[in-house]
Chains A and B, each alone.
Chain A
């Protein structure tokens, strides 16, 4: 072994450590800003249409529920948001949903395993960003979607194909880093 290749070999562990450190730094930064979730699991629905379902409206919300067929042919992209009044991260993401709704982005809500009265009180207190509001009380439709916790947000393009799923609260970073680029791309 020549001297230079020997020296290069001695630097290899240092290079590995630098690469590993950079990787961990990136992961930690992502966890800090909410753009990386180490417990995140990819959705099997990406690139597909939502599974068949028909959900009733949330009682006393004055909104209509919706069915899979209504997500097929849309004038523009739609966000579908699973949420519940008992869900703490839902409070964190709520201001971002309100912002999107003020900007005219349609958000179709699915209230998950909740009591209608509690859900109504949540919206009265924090604001109501939903264009449609359905209720999934036994939570079976959520399982068909592969939902494993609330909140979860799905981006559906105008053809009704699911392009993106976010499991966890929509933070300002997720809003600017993921949702806005998606809205531009599928406008």
Chain B
């Protein structure tokens, strides 16, 4: 039973908003391309979903435009450029590297660098120094304490 459920779950795969068959292109290869393009384009309304995943009206309009351009024979780059020209870098889920996006692309490396630096500093500081041997007075007091705890 559990295996069956797992198999069904795996079969279901990611849910995409292109539910209505009227949106899909008749040619499966073109539809496949349109989906791949749509997964790279951000829905400007929901902002953390691609236009393929979003239920927003604008995402639907953009899905239709992507399919229109694909059916008209545009290359993948041309379709992306069409949307990019209108909505700017933000619409690309993988934005190009520029001054404005440098922090975005650089953040993982900065975090890694900061972590390494922290490890290095902690290691240098944390190196334990050699224990200082007890002085003769301390040793005598310790011996006395060990013999009679009440002393």
Contacts and interface: CB of A to CB of B under 8 A. Distances in A.
Interface of A: 39, 41-44, 51, 113, 139-140, 143-146, 148-149
B35 to A, nearest CB: 20
Contacts of B58: 139, 143, 148-149
**Closest 7 interchain pairs by CB?**
A148-B44, A44-B88, A146-B86, A41-B90, A146-B87, A139-B61, A148-B58
Given A148-B45, A149-B45, A41 B61 contact: no
Given A143-B61, A148-B58, A149-B58, A44 B47 contact: no
Interface majority SS (helix, strand, loop, mixed), chain A: loop
Interface residues of B, number: 13
A43 B88 contact: yes
Nearest to B58: A148
Contacts of B88: 41-44, 146
Interface of B: 44-45, 47, 57-58, 61-62, 65, 85-88, 90
A143 B47 contact: no
Contact of B87 (A39, A51, A139, A148): A148
Nearest to A46: B88
B69 to A, nearest CB: 12
A43 B45 CA distance: 14
B62 to A, nearest CB: 7
A84 to B, nearest CB: 11
Given A44-B88, A148-B58, A149-B45, 14 more contacts: A39-B47, A41-B87, A42-B88, A44-B85, A44-B86, A139-B61, A140-B61, A143-B61, A143-B86, A146-B86, A148-B44, A148-B87, A149-B44, A149-B58
